[in-house]
Amino acid sequence: MKKYNLIIALLSAFAFLFVGVSTSDAHQQHKGYTPGLYPHKAVNVNMVGVAFQKLGYSATLHKDKRGNPHLLITNPVAPAVEVAVFFDDCSQMGCEDLTYYANFGSKVTISAEHLNNWNHIGAKTRSKAFTSDGGEIGLSHTVSFYGMDDFEKVALSAGLFMLEIKLFGQNYLGIK
């Protein structure tokens, strides 16, 4: 009986902690939290562009329908036909979320087994592979809350994504 009381007490404590955290997050949003406002939680587009430039890539700046910036890499790593970085939750200081995106087009094919193998937790890849309704194969990877002083981390995540493009192309699409 004591074991059950202990389990109930632990579950109650966990539930209280969970409700407290959820309430705290909701309370912050009601206090006027603005995404991208704090430099320790946001990066600007120029910083990400410089990170790619230091890796040997060039990019052009564009804006989406909502006015959020995105970078299109003009010399994408093969075998990707398109590589872009999309920014979300933006404000004056920068953006809180970056999504790296690679499109391999619809001329290549991949089996469901290969997609599952790439996406499996045991594969230890950061990006997720997918197929679109139009038959295009792609990779994407979202990172959040890098700050303005995290240039090395942003450059590392960009470089790792470009490396995963090469690995995915060679090992899963058979493109050398």
Q: Which of 153, 156, 165 is nearest to 55 (CA)?
A: 156
Mean pLDDT of the chain: 83
Q: Which of 79, 94, 63, 68 is nearest to 166 (CA)?
A: 79
On the question of pLDDT at 16 being above 70, the answer is no
Two tokens at 131? 């197929």
* Averaged pLDDT, 143-153: 91
Give phi and psi for 43, each to the nearest 5.
Answer: -120, 150
pLDDT digits (tens, 9 = 90+) for 75-123: 998 899 999 999 999 988 899 999 999 999 998 889 999 999 999 988 8
The lowest-confidence range among 36-45, 113-122, 126-135 is 36-45
The lowest-confidence range among 9-23, 57-71, 88-102 is 9-23
* Averaged pLDDT, 45-60: 95
* Averaged pLDDT, 145-159: 92
pLDDT for residue 29:
47
Going from the C-alpha of 99 to that of each of 52, 78, 86, the distances in angstroms are: 14, 19, 5
What is the third-level CATH fold of 45-171?
A: Yope Regulator; Chain: A, (3.30.1460)
